[in-house]
Amino acid sequence: MRSALIPLALAAIALPASAGGGDDGAGWNCRNLQLEISCDGETCMAAEAFTPMDIHLTDTQLSLCAYTGCWVGAPAAITQSGRFITYAGSGLVFSTQPDSITDAVVTVDTATGTATVLVADTFAHPATCSPWSP
């Protein structure tokens, strides 16, 4: 089920965007406007109704907001490979529930503005992004 949902969703939501990131404070703002996919150790399921995540990525901060708060922290790693830039966060703390700590990774295709979002044990979904400056 997982392998069928994600490629189909990614193909459907490509959005043109220019490159972002770098040490100038610029980054990316991503949202999953069409789809939320929640995963556990066994399966992934698309939600029937959801509130889109609001994600901000820069060289100094990852912010992945969902529902009542945000997982926030500095990137543990940022990797650029061709047109892909990946922001990885480790030990991100949820702003309204400090005991909710997670790891997350967001990979942005800088040519299309399409992204994949993985929040450990919680979400695995596509998103669309645009360049952003705080």
pLDDT 10s per residue in the chain (134 long)?
333 333 323 222 222 233 344 445 689 999 999 889 988 878 889 998 888 999 999 999 999 999 899 999 999 999 999 999 999 999 999 999 999 999 999 999 999 999 999 999 889 999 999 998 87
Contact yes or no for 64/55 (Cβ under 8 A):
yes
Contact yes or no for 72/61 (Cβ under 8 A):
yes
Q: Are strands 84-94 and 69-73 parallel, antiparallel or unpaired?
A: antiparallel
Helices (H), the chain: 2-12
pTM: 0.78
Contacts of 90 (CB under 8 A, 6+ apart): 73, 76, 103
